[in-house]
Amino acid sequence: MTETIFSPSFGNRPSYLVGRGSVISTFISGLEQEPGNRDRAMLMLGQRGSGKTVLLWELADRARKLGFVVATPTVASEDMLERIVEKIQEAGEPYVSKHHLPKLTGGSLSVFGFSAGLEFTRDVQETKSFQFKLTQLARKLTEQGHGILILIDELQANSPEIRQLVTAYQELVGEGLNVALVMAGLPGAVSATLNDRVLTFLNRARKVTLEPLSVGDVDAYYQRAFEELGLDIPGDLRLDAARATQGSPYMLQLIGYNIANRCQAGERVTRELVDGAIEASKVDFENDVCETTLAALSDQDVAFLAAMADDEGGEDAVSRISDVAERMSVTPDYAQKYRRRLIDAGVIEQARRGYVRFAVPYMADYLRSQL
């Protein structure tokens, strides 16, 4: 085994992000502009395993270098708002003086309610709303030349906490405070959030879809990574490994790790070794992603997917809804109900009118192996 730069675990951050440079540069450009810039509010859509969480952490690092206080990725939940306030207080404490509080003036940036630094008085802590606390934090940090970046992971549809957060953010932007917001989730959750009548403000935000990585980008990354590790891998085998990722950042890490794990520095990589690494990676991916995804679905959802898996054509196969309904012995209208649910869950996607395909790599293979 040689030293490896691959990190095939959910949430672990790889040494280099592949194919996401334009997303990063767009957002950082927004942070460098005046408060209120459209690119300071971003909605990130991505299927399972598309690297949303890793990208959020990368944006956090970049924003810190620009002087932003970052509420690191927070999963949408009941205690989300309280955790955001706590994260801002903890991360922002080094940027403010505990002994010198701004003078209270009639200006919009007057700050009150703090006992020291970013600590609230007991009265504020116990009686004031999330919006009040966030506003005071944003005013104080803006006054001292810093901004706030709030990152939300696993966005949930119809979440009252998300409604409160976006409403508060809109008012902070209206006040000209130095704030930014990025929320990431499955396409269905993001779509439902955009359609929420309370959250029409988000229609002005930048929408970014994390598409599958291109074979060229993955191959270029593998070339760089394997050279850095001192592994001699022929170009055709490297390209086969890149294609086997099917554009999944997680599979990219799994395959790279399994190849490196089977080699010593300076060793020439063989066809047998690459094929074995790909198969091992598929098993890990199916256990970590496919099995976990199916466990969260209803029996009828899984029956819909199993009917799709009957179609030939490999991972590029498309399924006609009417054919899926016939295999399930239900009407096409009834099948549409499960089509919509599975699209919202990020398991399938529309290929064209009347047709769908799997959005999760190797899901069809996994289903066939279980039938």
Q: What is the DSSP string of 132-190?
A: HHHHHHHHHHHHTT-EEEEEEES--TT-HHHHHHHHHHHHHHHTT--EEEEEEE-HHHH
Instruction: Specify the pLDDT at position 271.
Output: 96
What does the pLDDT read at residue 101? 43
At residue 230, the 3 state secondary structure works out as: coil
Q: Angle formed by the axes of helices 21-31 and 52-65, to 10°?
A: 40
Supply the pLDDT for residue 347. 93
pLDDT of residue 252: 95
Quick one: how far is CA 37 from the chain centroid? 22
CB atoms within 10 A of CB 189: 24
Q: Which amino acid is at 141?
A: L
Please give the model's pTM, rounded to 2 decimal places.
Answer: 0.84
pLDDT at 183 (0 to 100): 94
Is the pLDDT reported for residue 42 higher than 90?
yes
Cα angle 6-182-360, degrees, rounded to a multiple of 5: 50
pLDDT tens for each residue of 130-164: 898 899 899 989 988 999 999 999 888 888 999 99
The Cα–Cα gap between 17 and 53 comes to: 12
% the chain with pLDDT above 90:
63
Give me Rg for the CA atoms of the chain: 24
Q: How many CB atoms lie within 10 A of CB 326?
A: 14
> Residue 334 CB: number of other CB atoms within 10 A?
12
Nearest one of 87, 95, 53 to 70, comparing CA atoms: 87
Predicted confidence (pLDDT) per residue in 184-215, tens digit = 998 888 888 888 877 888 888 999 999 999 99
Per-residue pLDDT band for 8 (boundaries 50, 70, 90) equals: confident
Please state the rounded mean pLDDT for residues 39-65: 92
| pLDDT for position 104 | 36
Burial class (CB in 10 A: 0-12, 13-18, 19+), 16: exposed
Mean pLDDT score of the chain, rounded to an integer? 87
pLDDT in tens, 169-189: 999 999 999 999 999 998 888
Going by pLDDT thresholds of 50, 70 and 90, the confidence category of residue 356 is: very high
Do the strands 41-45 and 206-209 form a parallel or antiparallel pair, or are they unpaired? parallel
| Predicted pLDDT of residue 12 | 65
Residue with token string 């801002």: 88
Question: Token pair 């295999």 is at which residue?
Answer: 327
Is the CA virtual torsion 367, 349, 354, 342 positive or negative?
positive
The pLDDT score that the predictor gives to residue 181 is 96
Which tokens in the block code for residue 307? 């009917």
Nearest to 96 by CA among 130, 64, 143, 63: 143
Predicted confidence (pLDDT) at residue 103 exceeds the cutoff of 60: no
Determine the average pLDDT of the residues in 334-362: 92
Residue 11 CB burial class (10 angstroms; 0-12, 13-18, ≥19): exposed
What is the C-alpha to C-alpha distance for residues 248 and 124, in angstroms, rounded to an integer?
46
Using the predicted structure, report yes or no on whether residue 106 has a pLDDT greater than 60. Answer: no
Residue 124 in this model has a pLDDT that exceeds 80: no
* Mean pLDDT of the region 267-277: 94
- Model confidence at 127, in pLDDT bands (50, 70, 90)? low
Beta bridge partners of 350: 356
| Cβ atoms of residues 353 and 341 within 8 Å | no
Instruction: Report the share of the chain in percent with pLDDT over 70.
Output: 90
| pLDDT-based confidence at residue 100 (cuts at 50, 70, 90) | very low
